[in-house]
Chains A and B, each alone.
Chain A
Amino acid sequence: MRACLAYVFILISVAARADDTLRQWIDPNASGILPANTLHANRFGELGVLNTAGDVHLAAHPFFSALGTNGRACVSCHQPRYAMSVSAPGLRERWRATNGKDPVFAAIDGSNCPHLPQVDETSHSLLLERGLFRVTLPWPPRDAHGKIIDPEFTIEVIRDPTGCNTHRDYGIHSSTPTISVYRRPRPVANLKYVIANNGQSLFAKDGTPASIDRETGLPTAMNLMSDARHATLKLQAVDAGFTHLQMHAPLTTQQLTQIVDFELQVYTAQSADTIGGPLQSSEALGPDSLAREKPGIFGDTLATPVFGSFAAWRTAGDDPKAIFRASVARGYDIFFTRPFWIRDVMNFNNHLGNPAKRTCASCHNTRMTGMDISAGWMDIGTTNSPWANESPELPLFEITCNKELPPHPYLNRIIYTQDPGRALISGRCNDVGAIVIQQLRGLAARAPYFSNGSAQNLREVVDFYDRRFNIRFTEQDKQDLVNFLSVL
Chain B
Amino acid sequence: MKPSDKDKYKSYTRRATLLSGGMLLLSSALIGRMYYLQVVSRSQYELLADRNRISMRLLAPTRGEIIDRFGRPVATSTTDYRVNVIPEETEELQQTLKSLSKYIPITEGDNTRIVKAASKQRSFLPISVANNLDWETFSKVNVNMPDLPGIQPDVGTSRYYPEKELAAHLIGYVGSVSEEELTGDPLLELPEFKIGKNGIEKILDNKLRGSAGNSRLEVNVLGRVIRELSRQDSISGDTARLTIDLEIQKFAANRVRDESAAVVVMDVHNGEILGLASTPSFDPNDFNNGISQKKWDALRNDIRKPLINKAVSGQYSPGSTFKMIVALAGLEAGIIKATDTKFCNSRYRIGNRIAHCWNKNGHGHINVIQAISQSCDVYFYDLALEVGIDRIHDMAARLGIGNRFDIGIMSEAKGINPNGEWKFNTQGVRWQGGDTANVGIGQGYVSTTPLQLAVMTSRLVNGGKMITPKILLDDTADYPIPDDVGISPENLRIVLQGMNDVYNHPRGTAFPYRSRNKDYKFGGKTGTTQVTRISMAERQDGVIKNEEKEWIGRDHALFVGYGPIENPKYAVSVLVEHGGGGSSVASPIAKDVLEYLMKMDATENKGQSV
Pairing of A with B: no
B residues whose Cβ falls under 8 Å from a Cβ of A: none
Name A's B-contacting residues (CB within 8 A).
Answer: none
